[in-house]
Copies of this chain bind each other. A is one copy, B any other.
């Protein structure tokens, strides 16, 4: 049998996207819920220090996903907004799919937070169809 590193290469790529996806989703949530997105609140919700959040925000700014001036609140760029919308949608499909299957609410929340980043477009469509019918 031949060797297939492809799936591991894709796995590493997915990992590299996870933080960005969770952060833009969180910023979008805060903008909606609280009116503004601040480092301290993001850090509290992720359960990390404000310093960790700050450093990740710097990276997301370099990647043109987040926009802000020093000591000020955070905003999503158009690119960041787009990623947030897509990520949230996928997250929600995975979450509802798990619940439809019979996974308890709390467990579905926890598992969806990890699974979402590894569901390909093909699999996502199948999850969606399952919910509409099943």
Contact across chains for B101 and A5 when beta carbons are under 8 A apart: no
Contact of A45 among B5, B11, B115 (CB under 8 A): B5
Contact across chains for B109 and A123 when beta carbons are under 8 A apart: no
In the complex, chain B residues whose CB is within 8 Å of the CB of A114: 10-11, 14, 117-118
User: Contacts A107-B120, A107-B123 known; A113 to B8 CB distance under 8 Å?
Assistant: yes
Specify the main secondary structure of chain A where it touches its partner. helix
In the complex, chain B residues whose CB is within 8 Å of the CB of A10: 110, 113-114
B-facing residues in A77-134 (Cβ within 8 Å): 98, 101-104, 107-111, 113-115, 117-120, 122-123, 126-127, 130
Closest to A101 in B: B126
In the complex, chain B residues whose CB is within 8 Å of the CB of A44: 3, 5
In the complex, chain B residues whose CB is within 8 Å of the CB of A33: 1
B-facing residues in A1-37 (Cβ within 8 Å): 1, 3-11, 14-15, 22, 33
A70 touches B (CB below 8 Å)? no
Contact across chains for A126 and B113 when beta carbons are under 8 A apart: no
